[in-house]
Amino acid sequence: MGKTLVQNKKARHDYFILETYEAGIELVGTEVKSVRQGKMNLKDSYIDIKNGEAFLIGAHISPYEHGNIFNREPERVRKLLLRKQEIMKLTGKLTEKGLTIVPLEVYLKNNWIKLSIALAQGKKNYDKRDAKAEADAKRSMDRALKERNFR
């Protein structure tokens, strides 16, 4: 992966990530400029598959300041560029109970804007609490080790 432009931190908090895929994203000129500036929000966005094509829904790309008449609707539906086999595989897995496809991050790869998407399963509240407790315990252990090494 290249330079990360935008991350969806909420996705890793709310879902168990099962598989990740790399997808291209169909953007117009002013959207590309906004995304390169990091003016994109993936919170509450998801991927939907219709008629053998994948679409990013709910992602917000702020209008480019210097774009005037060429700016598009900030929350329009954007087509994702995936191979037919990947789309068929994802469609098959979506029939399983509780699975969804969420965007994880947008990054640059060889000057192309790519979207990392994941097949994910929703976490229950107790799973989120366990993950938070585990992170807190790890943080306090790291802090204790750090203090010990400074003495």
Structural fold of domain 4-123: Small Protein B; Chain: A; (2.40.280)
Q: Tell me what pLDDT residue 32 has.
A: 83
Q: What residues does each domain of the chain span? A: 4-123
Segment 108-141, tens digit of pLDDT = 888 888 888 888 887 777 667 777 788 888 888 8
Question: Three-state SS across the chain?
Answer: CCCEEEECHHHHHHEEEEEEEEEEECCCHHHHHHHHCCCEECCCCEEEEECCEEEEECCEECCCCCCHHHCCCCCCCEEEECCHHHHHHHHHHHCCCCEEEEEEEEEEECCEEEEEEEEEEECCHHHHHHHHHHHHHHHHHHHHHHHHHHC
pLDDT in tens, 22-75: 989 888 777 888 888 888 888 888 888 888 888 988 888 887 777 566 666 777
Q: What is the pLDDT of residue 70?
A: 60
